[in-house]
Structure 1
Amino acid sequence: MIRKATEVRPRITKAAFECLRCGHITFVDQNSFKFEEPFAGCEDENCGKKGPFKVRIEDSTFIDAQKLQIQESPENLKGGSQPQSLEVDSEDDLTGNVTPGDRVIINGILKSRQRTLKDGKSTFYDLVLEANSIEHLDKDYDELEITAEDEEEILELSHDPEIYNKIISSVAPSIYGYEDIKEALALQLFSGVVKNLPDGSRIRGDIHIMLVGDPGIAKSQLLRYVVKLSPRGVFTSGRSASASGLTAAAVKDDLNDGRWTIEGGALVMADMGIAAVDEMDKMKTEDKSALHEAMEQQTISIAKAGIIATLKSRCALLGAANPKYGRFDRYESLAEQISMPPALLSRFDLIFVLLDTPDHNMDTKIANHILQSHYAGELFEQRERLPGSHIKEDFVEAEMEVIEPVIQPELMRKYVAYARKNVFPVMEEDAKAYLISFYTDLRKTGESKNTPVPVTARQLEALVRLSEASARVRLSNTVTLEDAKRTIRIEMNCLKNVGVDPETGALMQIYLHLEQA
């Protein structure tokens, strides 16, 4: 993984020295890291003096050079060991291709260089890799290669009437149920359309989702699966994520001349992907405030250590939080239970509340699914690791079917990439009217002075984004009434638990009125 990358600078490889006495030009190759002058003196036979010389920039040869610092991928580490890092020198056309956070394979020649101290040379040597080639591992949606066969398969899938169910069952198949949440997560992958307006403003297309719920109901597992599906997915956890870790930090640059530089955090590294933040309730209050700008404007502005900069963080945020008292209380407001400011909560397009309520039928199904998953895993591990195992491969595959995604992750990624690249849906009139009537009816409940307003204009924008994502799922360039209805069904699933007073059920009446309409 690329940890740091300096800016691309010109490095001199052949210096042209002009003799100030006779004007003759002497060329000296610069192979080492120390700048070498013509020790033998002027090469002109009649002159031969040892100086003075002046470097002629226009006659010298330069090459682009960049220093990188790479670090072991966290997945390959053994427990307790820190990731090792290595310095890389890249030159010419290899420069400027990578940014911090990229996962790469670098081929090169490993060389050792002696350290220099203030009072001479050190006995220690540093390892440096001279890069010959750099290959990207995880590509953005825009960079995924989609062959003609892939495109054919994608288009065939999009015409399948069961496409929504297939995509929902391909998101975290090892977790039972939660169809509405999986549907929302699938829409988050596809995302709405980014609009760049003529006046220079930008409306985000990324969908932010928050999962709040009782412990032990697979929130983190859902987060990890979505990060795995997204090309630039970053996973962080609450207590270990600080404001500068999420946004950006000012650090002294060891690779260059010790100047202050900006190092991007998790939200910057997840640009054009998904950033998952688990245990959001455990974050410090001042760290949560760093998310405001990143979520709505999708930029991160910095004024630290004499550097004033704006970084891009065009990522969708997927958060998970546990309620304060361990279990969710339907009679208390959401903001109080997860100690998050309402201004931040309003920036989430969808907030799901997951309740762990005992239900004999459901519990039996979940228990069967969990045990089936474990059984399939046991069979697979025994077949792989035990030399004398009698378990046949087709038997393992048959048992694995329950937790096997309908659409394989690789194809799913390509399908999402194709949709995001080629599909830009436009909303039909009846879908517009349906969303407006839903929004205005919802706002009506806040007309009386003593009730809080349940929704803001942000929710209407969220409905538009979700409808666009729903059209993208079937690779359609029009948002139909069906998409609007699907979106409102998902929104109502959220509001049922978040915005409904359990005694009066105010929102439920609106929902019924809309269904009749």
Structure 2
Amino acid sequence: VESIQTYQCDKCNHEFSVKIDYSNKDLLVRPSKCPSNDCQSDKFKTINLEKNLKNVMRDYQEIKVQEKLDVFSAGTIPKSIVVILENDLVDCCKPGDDVTINAIVVRRWGRLLNDMRCDIDLILFANYVKVNNEEQTQINITKEKEKMFSDFWQKYEKRPLTGRNIILSSYCPQLYGMYIVKLAVCLVLTGGVSRNDSSGTRVRGESHLLLVGDPGTGKSQFLKYANKIIPKSVLTTGGIWHLEAGALVLADGGICCVDEFNCMKEQEKMSMLEAMEQQSISVA
């Protein structure tokens, strides 16, 4: 965007610059009169400074940051705010990233209309952005935990299925039994390893799971518990709640739990096929 506009007065030839106004929809507001004390003319022309083009033009981007979903209970809609990025901060993050931002709070006025109250919004002018995705994926495994894990499987070395069932019973303990369903959910949460076949096509290592059953059999409980124990996860309901940034985008690198999947429209189900198979989302 053009951050500075230079004008020259037609009467006194005085040159002056006007900077972009972030509080007024990022506009370059044309001055009403010449700032020179001896002139006060209202006629001036724009000067094109091609030599100082790098100083006049700067990279500009607006992003919308949403509160972290894991600190809210189910059904709570998180708030969001617009953040302005300039120069080297542009394209420093992508949708779905977990970021820490240091910024200055700036007010932005709405459009002025006759006989109507003007709206005002708060935005952030960022001066530092840090992406925390790698920090979230790191798991601190102490030597005590390693020894506990090793001792557990040494105890059930000759009875591995018994040890497996003990681990499965700790998942969603409010639901008794259902070891097959719990095993399937745990395998999805654990994930696999992606690979490339002989033709060079990437084969995903993560699997998907569809839970089907009568009402009241605990399907939603499994989803809520998975959303609770995974560091980066999104729990949404098909056909009712709508996340502005997109549930699949916010769950990038984690897990997306969709309740009442049968309530989704057929077009919405088709749009999820690419994300489920290729683990990517194309923007037309």
**What range describes the TM-score normalised by the shorter chain of this pair?**
0.5 to 0.7
In structure 1, give the amino acid aligned to 2:182.
K
Measured after TM superposition, the shift of residue 226 of structure 1 is 0.9
Q: Is 1:211 matched up with 2:203?
A: no
2:28 aligned partner: 35
Q: Does the aligned pair in 1 maintain the 2:236–2:259 contact within 8 Å?
A: yes
- One of 39, 43, 48 as aligned partner of 1:54: 48
Stretches of structure 2 lacking an aligned partner (at least 5 in a row) = 9-14, 36-43, 154-162
What CA distance in whole angstroms lies between the structure 1 residues aligned with 2:119 and 2:178?
57
C-alpha deviation, 1:164, in angstroms: 4.3
The residue number in structure 2 matching 1:465 is none
What does 1:185-196 correspond to in 2, within 5 Å? 185-196=185-196
1:200-235, Cα deviation, whole Å (9 max, x unpaired):
311111111222223322221111111222233222
Local SS of the residue matching 1:55: coil
Partners of 1:167 and 1:186 within 8 A in 2: no
User: What residue number does 1:159 align with?
Assistant: 150
Cα 1:160/1:188, change in 2 over 3 Å:
farther
Compared CA separation, residues 133 and 277, structure 1 to 2 (3 A): same
Deviation at 1:132, TM superposition (A): 4.6
CA distance in 2, matches of 1:111, 1:264: 23
2:136 matched residue in structure 1: 144
CA deviations 1:100-119 (Å, max 9, x no partner) are 45565655433323333478
Answer 1 or 2: higher relative contact order, Cα 8 Å, separation at least 6: 1
Matches within 5 A, 1:354-369: none
> In the superposition, relative to structure 1, how do residues 170 and 224 fare at CA in structure 2: closer, same or farther (>3 Å)?
same
Return closer, same or farther for 1:169/1:115 CA change in 2, 3 Å cut-off. same
2:259 counterpart of 1:278: yes
The 3 A distance-change label for structure 1 pair 288 and 145 is closer
Alpha carbons 2:18, 2:28 under 8 Å: kept: no
| Equivalent in the alignment of 2:105 | 110
Q: Distance in 2 between matches of 1:278 and 1:69?
A: 26
Find the aligned partners of 2:109 and 2:63 in 1 and give their Cα distance. 18
Which residue pairs with 2:64 in the alignment?
Answer: 69
Number of aligned positions between the proteins: 260
Q: Which amino acid aligns with 1:30?
A: K
Looking at structure 2, the residues matched to 125 and 284 of structure 1 have their Cα atoms a distance apart, in angstroms, of 36
Q: Identify if the C-alpha distance between structure 1 residues 60 and 185 changes in structure 2 by more than 3 Å, giving closer, same or farther.
A: same
TM-score normalised according to structure 2 size: 0.66
Tell me: CA distance 1:279–1:157, structure 2 relative to 1, closer, same or farther (3 Å).
same
Q: CA RMSD in A?
A: 4.5
In structure 2, the residue matched to 1:182 is 182
TM-score by length of 1: 0.40
Q: Read off the aligned partner of 2:250 and give its amino acid letter.
A: M
Deviation at 1:91, TM superposition (A): 3.5
Counterpart contact for 2:193–2:204, Cα < 8 Å: yes
One-letter amino acid of the counterpart of residue 60, structure 1: N
Select the residue among 68, 84, 88 that pairs with 2:83: 88
Is 2:257 the counterpart of 1:266?
no
1:161 and 1:31 map into 2 onto residues whose CA distance is 64
Aligned residue for 1:199, secondary structure, equals coil
Q: 1:189 to 1:72 in 2, by over 3 A?
A: closer
CA contact (8 A) 1:110 1:128 kept: yes
CA distance in 1, matches of 2:74, 2:185: 31
Q: Distance in 2 between matches of 1:132 and 1:301?
A: 30
2: CA distance, partners of 1:34 / 1:301:
32
In 2, distance between residues paired with 1:103 and 1:128? Answer: 19
Percentage of matched positions with identical amino acids = 35
Shift, 1:236, TM fit? 2.3
Code of the aligned partner of 2:246: G
The match for 1:130 among 107, 125, 133 is 125
SS in 1 for 2:186: helix
Which residues of 2 match residues 405-444 of structure 1 at below 5 A? none
Query: Matched residue of 1:69: which SS?
Result: strand
The structure-2 alpha-carbon separation of the partners of 1:167 and 1:67, relative to structure 1 and needing over 3 Å to count, comes to farther
Code of the residue aligned with 1:225 in structure 2: it is Y
Q: Give 3-state SS (helix, strand or coil) of 2:193's partner.
A: coil
Map of 2:160 onto structure 1: none
- What pairs up with 1:402-481 in 2 under 5 angstroms? none
- Alignment map for 1:492-507 (pairs within 5 Å): none
User: Taking structure 1 as reference, are residues 118 and 223 closer, same or farther at Cα in structure 2, changes over 3 Å only?
Assistant: same
Separation in 2 of the partners of 1:298 and 1:104?
22
- Specify the SS of the correspondent of 2:210: strand
Q: Describe the shift of the 1:152–1:27 C-alpha distance in structure 2 as closer, same or farther (beyond 3 A).
A: farther
* 1: CA distance, partners of 2:203 / 2:254: 17
Give CA deviations for 1:165-204 in whole Å, capped at 9, x if unaligned: 5643442233322233222222211212111345331111
Larger radius of gyration: 1
